[in-house]
Structure 1
Amino acid sequence: MASAYNSEQLTQFLDHIGVPTAFRHASPSLQFLTVLHVHTISTLPYENLSLHYNPSHEINLEPQHLFEKIITNKRGRGGFCMEVAILYNHMLRALGFDAYTAGVRTRPRIQGVPQGDFPGWGHIVNIVTFADGSKYHSDVAFGGDGATKPMPLVEGLVHENLGTQQIRLARDWLPSQALRVESSKLWIYQYRNSEVQDWNSFYAFAEVEFLQPDWGVVNHWMTTHPDSNQVKNLLVVKFLRRPKVSSEPDDQEIYGKQMLVNGTVKENLGGRTHTLKTCTTEENRIDVLGKVFDITLTDEEKLGIQGSPLQLQSGKVCNGSCDNCTKKAADGRKESIQW
Structure 2
Amino acid sequence: MTDPWDVESLDLDAYLARTGQQAAPPSAEALTALHEAHVRTIPFENVDPALGRTPRLDLESITAKLVRRQRGGYCFEHSLLFAAVLEHLGYEVSRRAARVQPHRNGPRTHMNLVVTVDGDELLADVGFGAGVLRPMRLADGAVVDQAGWNHRLTRDGRLWTLEKQTAEGWEPLHAFDDQPQRLIDYEVYNHYTATHPDSPFTGRLVVMRLDEGISRKLIGDTLVVERPDGSQETTPVDDRAEALRSLDVVLTDDELTGL
Fold in common (TM above 0.5): yes
What does residue 263 of structure 1 align with? Answer: 221
Does the CA contact (< 8 Å) of 2:44 and 2:72 recur in 1? yes
Does the CA contact (< 8 Å) of 2:224 and 2:234 recur in 1? yes
Of the three residues 101, 104, 109, the one matched with 2:98 is: 104
Does the CA contact (< 8 Å) of 1:237 and 1:257 recur in 2? yes
The answer to whether the aligner puts 1:11 opposite 2:13 as a matched pair is: yes
Gaps of 5+ in 2: none
Does the CA contact (< 8 Å) of 1:264 and 1:275 recur in 2? no
RMSD: 2.0
Cα offset for 1:304?
2.3
Cα distance in structure 1, aligned partners of 2:65 and 2:9:
18
Of the three residues 176, 182, 185, the one matched with 1:205 is: 176
What does residue 70 of structure 1 align with? Answer: 66
The runs of at least 4 consecutive aligned structure 1 residues that moved more than 4 Å come to: 5-8
Letter of the 1:270 partner, please give it.
Answer: P
The answer to whether the aligner puts 1:192 opposite 2:165 as a matched pair is: yes
How many residue pairs match? The answer is: 257
Does the CA contact (< 8 Å) of 1:266 and 1:273 recur in 2? no
1:271 partner SS: coil
Letter of the 2:104 partner, please give it.
Answer: G
Does the CA contact (< 8 Å) of 2:43 and 2:208 recur in 1? yes
Of the three residues 57, 61, 69, the one matched with 2:57 is: 61
What does residue 47 of structure 2 align with? Answer: 49
Does the CA contact (< 8 Å) of 2:99 and 2:109 recur in 1? yes
Of the three residues 84, 100, 105, the one matched with 1:90 is: 84
What does residue 33 of structure 1 align with? Answer: 31
| TM-score, normalisation: structure 1 | 0.71
Cα offset for 1:266?
1.8
Letter of the 2:123 partner, please give it.
Answer: H
Cα distance in structure 2, aligned partners of 1:8 and 1:41:
19
What does residue 286 of structure 1 align with? Answer: 241
Q: Percent identity of the aligned residues?
A: 29
2:169 partner SS: coil
What does residue 202 of structure 2 align with? Answer: 231
Cα distance in structure 2, aligned partners of 1:66 and 1:7:
11
Letter of the 2:250 partner, please give it.
Answer: T
Cα distance in structure 1, aligned partners of 2:231 and 2:196:
30
| TM-score, normalisation: structure 2 | 0.91
Does the CA contact (< 8 Å) of 1:136 and 1:152 recur in 2? yes
Give the alignment of 1:312-331 within 5 angstroms.
none
1:38 partner SS: helix
Give the alignment of 1:103-182 within 5 angstroms.
103-107=97-101, 115-117=103-105, 119-130=106-117, 132-144=118-130, 146-163=131-148, 165-172=149-156, 182=157
Cα distance in structure 1, aligned partners of 2:108 and 2:60:
24
Gaps of 5+ in 1: 109-114, 173-181, 241-253, 306-339
Cα distance in structure 2, aligned partners of 1:190 and 1:296:
32
Q: Highest Rg: 1 or 2?
A: 1
